């Protein structure tokens, strides 16, 4: 990276600091020459003062690069200025250093540091000059207006530095919002969005003590914390948030989409809302809302009050987050609809075939895979006699019973009409598939209350086995042949295919 690119990467505050650094360094040669040539003390004293002046330049450059200075070393800087005032032939070399030095150092530290610098300045200029005036009546005193001018300009520089720091923080928050927006758009699942939400919120608040961000998700007044970041977050994820425990007026405003901000003792009004102690400095609750419903709550707590500009950025982030969550929910719904039966909620034909292919490819350590086709006997009569509503309720009931007969890692799907499929991957015992088939037949035969009518159907089940690497179509064809063989007997039950 060349010099131009390096400077472009600096913040506006850092560029102003660089300008004042150059100004301060350029002010050093004159007092060095004045002390060495025109100074009144012995040569070794003048050389020591000149050496101190020369060392100021690398010290300032070091602080500029690190963007901070060691506080206890600063009095030594002003001691060098005092030495210049005491050793130079007049006060002009020290006066020439004061403005550049004060302007540069005011760009660092707090307001309290600026006040201390003004005290150091008065001591460095007034004290040595007064002593010199007592010892040498011909010594030219410092213009009384200089300390006042320096003090006034220092206050102005302090205001400038504060404004630049505010601008720098604003730019940093805007960049963080852009990064966060890109991250939640690129996220492929909700947990990733949840964690990004609290991480970006924590970054927007900035450094500080006791800062904690949480995200509670849900439409009801009782939600659950899904993600947390910051201080004291152990055990927070999974805890309940009871929004209905808010004061009535506050809850009404919150439901209307208005953020809630409390400070100090006012934070106690939310004790009991969450199963965690409430932060006592500042507490900010931002509702996450879409156009149709509420998605959750972004909560930010701190041991110190949260500034208005921070709260504004958090509201902006909450709006971006709500949009991303709504998009993710819609995407999940569309994906679910594309691969699941809308009536029973079971995987549809496409997802069944996809999982069957995965089972044949993975093989679960070379263990066989069983595929079962289930066709209901007598379903058409139920539809004809009692109507489609009864038929739909019957299908939903059968779907639940089939799912109860298999393991968690198995798949039960609806292929269409009254035809279902079951995938049993990683079989350790071939008899297990026939046991499952028998349970399926017994479960389906139990009477069902559908649309107020007690109805019953049977099941014809075809069972086929395949080793890893077998052809999917051959396996499905074998199960289909076995199932139609059972159906031809009109007695129900199950049959096992001769092989794939």
Answer whether residue 344 is part of any domain: no
Answer whether residue 184 is part of any domain: no
146-171 CB burial, b ≥16 within 10 A, e <16: bbeebeeebeebbeebeebeeeebee
* Listed residues 281, 302, 336: the one ending a domain: 336
| Element (DSSP H or E) covering residue 442 | helix 431-445
Same domain, 289 and 383: no
282-289 and 369-377 strand pairing: unpaired
Answer whether residue 486 is part of any domain: yes
Same domain, 329 and 357: no
Same domain, 375 and 325: no
For residue 132, the tally of other CB atoms under 10 A from its CB is: 21
Whole-angstrom distance, CA of residue 104 vs CA of residue 111: 14
448-450 and 453-455 strand pairing: antiparallel
**Higher model confidence: residue 129 or residue 68?**
68
Would you say residue 253 has pLDDT above 60? yes
pLDDT confidence bin for 204, thresholds 50/70/90:
very high
DSSP state of 79: H
Same domain, 102 and 157: yes
pLDDT for 401-439, tens place per residue?
999 999 988 999 999 999 999 999 888 777 788 999 999
Task: Specify the 3-state DSSP secondary structure of 453.
Answer: strand
Terminal C-alpha separation, the chain: 65
Would you say residue 133 has pLDDT above 70? no
Q: Are 200 and 317 in contact (CB under 8 A)?
A: yes
| Element (DSSP H or E) covering residue 228 | strand 222-230
Count of structural domains within the chain = 3
Q: Are 209 and 239 in contact (CB under 8 A)?
A: no
Same domain, 197 and 149: no
Which two structure tokens, joined as six digits, stand for 316?
């902006």
Answer whether residue 341 is part of any domain: no
Same domain, 94 and 226: no
pLDDT for 225-242, tens place per residue?
899 998 888 888 888 888
Same domain, 131 and 276: no
pLDDT confidence bin for 479, thresholds 50/70/90:
very high
Answer whether residue 87 is part of any domain: yes
CA distances from residue 424 to 181, 186, 207, 356 in whole angstroms, order as listed: 42, 35, 53, 9
Q: Are 337 and 384 in contact (CB under 8 A)?
A: no
Same domain, 416 and 470: yes
pLDDT for 300-336, tens place per residue?
988 888 899 999 999 999 999 998 888 888 888 888 8
Same domain, 285 and 368: no
Number of H helices, E strands in the chain: 16, 13
Would you say residue 489 has pLDDT above 70? yes
For residue 498, the tally of other CB atoms under 10 A from its CB is: 9
**Higher model confidence: residue 276 or residue 344?**
344
Answer whether residue 398 is part of any domain: yes
* Listed residues 111, 136, 169: the one ending a domain: 169
**Higher model confidence: residue 10 or residue 303?**
303
pLDDT for 67-86, tens place per residue?
889 888 888 998 888 888 87
pLDDT for 103-120, tens place per residue?
899 899 888 888 888 888
| Element (DSSP H or E) covering residue 149 | helix 145-186
Residue ranges making up the domain that contains 31: 3-169
Answer whether residue 7 is part of any domain: yes
Q: What is the CATH number of the domain that holds 435?
A: 3.30.70.270
Q: What is the CATH number of the domain that holds 227?
A: 3.30.450.40
Same domain, 10 and 155: yes
Q: Which of 189, 188, 244, 197 is nearest to 216 (CA)?
A: 197
Same domain, 21 and 138: yes
* Listed residues 169, 200, 224: the one ending a domain: 169
Answer whether residue 129 is part of any domain: yes
Task: Specify the 3-state DSSP secondary structure of 239.
Answer: coil
Same domain, 331 and 396: no
């Amino acid at each position: 990276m060349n010099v131009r690119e390096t400077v472009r990467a600096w913040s506006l505050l850092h560029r102003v600091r660089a300008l004042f650094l150059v100004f301060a360094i350029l002010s050093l040669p004159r007092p060095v020459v004045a002390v060495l040539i025109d100074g009144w003390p012995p040569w070794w004293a003048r050389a020591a003062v000149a050496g101190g002046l020369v060392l100021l330049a690398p010290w300032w450059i070091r602080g500029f690069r690190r963007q901070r200075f060691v506080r206890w070393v600063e009095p030594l800087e002003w001691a060098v200025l005092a030495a210049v005032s005491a050793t130079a032939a007049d006060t002009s070399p020290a006066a020439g250093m004061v403005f550049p030095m004060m302007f540069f150092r005011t760009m660092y530290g707090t307001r309290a540091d600026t006040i201390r610098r003004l005290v150091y300045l008065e001591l460095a200029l007034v004290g040595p000059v007064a002593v010199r005036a007592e010892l040498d009546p011909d010594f030219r005193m410092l213009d009384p207006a200089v300390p006042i001018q320096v003090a006034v300009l220092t206050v102005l520089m302090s205001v400038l530095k504060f404004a630049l720091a505010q601008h720098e923080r604003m730019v940093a928050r805007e960049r963080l919002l852009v990064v966060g927006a890109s991250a939640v758009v690129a996220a492929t699942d909700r947990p990733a969005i949840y964690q990004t939400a609290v991480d970006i919120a924590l970054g927007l608040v900035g450094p500080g003590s006791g800062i904690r961000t949480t995200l509670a998700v849900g439409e009801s007044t009782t939600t659950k914390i899904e993600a947390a970041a910051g201080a004291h977050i152990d055990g927070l994820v999974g805890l309940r948030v009871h929004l209905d425990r808010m004061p009535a007026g506050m809850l009404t405003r919150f439901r209307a989409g208005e953020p809630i901000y409390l400070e100090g003792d006012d934070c106690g009004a939310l004790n009991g809302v969450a199963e965690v102690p409430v932060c006592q400095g500042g507490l900010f609750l931002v509702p996450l809302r879409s156009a149709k419903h509420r998605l959750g709550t972004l909560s930010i707590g701190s041991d110190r009050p949260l500034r208005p500009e921070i709260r504004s950025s958090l509201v902006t982030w909450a709006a971006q987050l709500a949009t991303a969550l709504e998009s993710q929910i819609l995407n999940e719904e569309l994906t679910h609809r594309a691969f699941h039966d809308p009536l029973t909620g079971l995987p549809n034909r496409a997802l069944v075939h996809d999982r069957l292919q995965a089972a044949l490819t993975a093989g679960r350590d070379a263990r066989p895979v069983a595929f079962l086709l289930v066709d209901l006997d007598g379903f058409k009569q139920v539809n004809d006699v009692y109507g489609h509503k009864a038929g739909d309720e019957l299908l939903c009931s059968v779907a639940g019973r089939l799912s109860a007969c298999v393991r968690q890692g198995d798949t039960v799907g609806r292929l269409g009409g009254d035809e279902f499929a079951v995938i049993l991957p990683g079989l350790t015992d071939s008899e297990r598939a026939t046991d499952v088939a028998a349970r399926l037949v017994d479960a389906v035969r139990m009477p069902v209350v559908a649309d107020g009518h007690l109805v019953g159907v049977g099941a014809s089940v075809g069972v086929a086995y395949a080793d890893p690497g077998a052809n999917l179509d051959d396996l499905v064809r074998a199960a289909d042949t076995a199932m139609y063989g059972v159906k031809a007997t009109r007695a129900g039950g199950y049959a096992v295919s001769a092989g794939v």
